[in-house]
Copies of this chain bind each other. A is one copy, B any other.
């Protein structure tokens, strides 16, 4: 709530400097600091958290490396990045339209694609036989040049043959689906969890190790309830919050 408060724990496997860095990130994401505002001096932070000044310096160094803070000798340490993006989730969740107003540009980059046999979970979600061919797309959502999501998406290979080419060309799932005669679709289910980012997420989302990702597992269906898409998306918790829409 009050950002920089909240104490830290010792000998728990997470170093003190990492915990302090997390707290600072959290405070910034909560909007407790205006852009370009000065962080409290190192000595003040050290006192607040009950640690040595050098420990605070380690935390700040990590965030400077990350591009979140900027330290200036003699002046102070300043906040560069801003409040979290708010990503809406509802029946008509769309990447591009969801971030309108908060960003000036956004698109989905196709990182790779492949065809593979469907596992149990994916087959059930898509309503096809286990082992049937599915197309897997690995994508990254970008807004104003910053990565904001990393998703793995599966489509029935029979029905959506060639969708990876459409994705690469258009940079939009919605537009790609139109080529297959699907002009509208709804989100049928969403399950939400959170975990530490793995190596893949770290690289794709430009995160520092130890970062947290929000994970959504969703099924999209046509208007008559036919499942067409199964997706697991990861959002960096320090840059994105999810806003659940009541109706739509």
Chain A positions within 8 Å of B, measured between CB atoms, are 1, 6-9, 12-15, 17-19, 21-22, 26, 29, 62, 84, 86, 89, 91, 152, 186-196, 198-200, 202, 208-210, 212-214, 232, 237, 241-244, 246-247
> Is the CB–CB distance between B9 and A199 below 8 Å?
yes
Known contacts A86-B191, A212-B212, A13 near B18 by CB under 8 Å: yes
> Across the interface, which residues of B come within 8 angstroms of A244, CB to CB?
89, 189-192, 244
Q: Report the minimal beta-carbon distance from A105 to chain B, rounded to whole angstroms.
A: 24
Distance of A170 from chain B, by nearest CB (Å): 26
B195 touches A22 (CB 8 A): yes
Question: Measured between alpha carbons, how far is A214 from B26 in the docked complex, in Å?
Answer: 13
Q: Do B247 and A91 touch across chains, with their CB atoms under 8 A apart?
A: yes
- The reply to whether A193 and B242 form a contact with Cβ atoms under 8 Å apart is yes
Interface centre among A13, A18, A84, A243 (most CB of B within 10 A): A13
**Closest approach, in angstroms, between the C-beta of A73 and any C-beta of chain B?**
24
- Interchain nearest-CB distance for A166 vs B (Å): 25
Q: How far is the CA of A7 from the CA of B9 in the complex (A)?
A: 25
Nearest CB in chain B to that of A212: its residue: B194
- A246 and B189 contact, CB distance less than 8 A: yes
Q: How many angstroms between the C-alpha atoms of A243 and B187 in the bound complex?
A: 13
CB distance from A212 to the nearest CB of B (A): 5
User: Which residues of the other chain, B, contact A189 by a CB distance below 8 angstroms?
Assistant: 243-244, 246
Complex-state Cα separation, A193 to B85, whole angstroms: 11
Complex formed: what's the CA distance from A8 to B200 in Å?
10
**Is the pair A18, B7 in contact by a Cβ cutoff of 8 Å?**
no
Which of chain B's residues have a CB closer than 8 A to the CB of A13?
Answer: 14-15, 17-18, 21, 62, 209-210
- Given contact pairs A9-B202, A14-B13, A84 touches B193 in the complex (Cβ within 8 A): yes
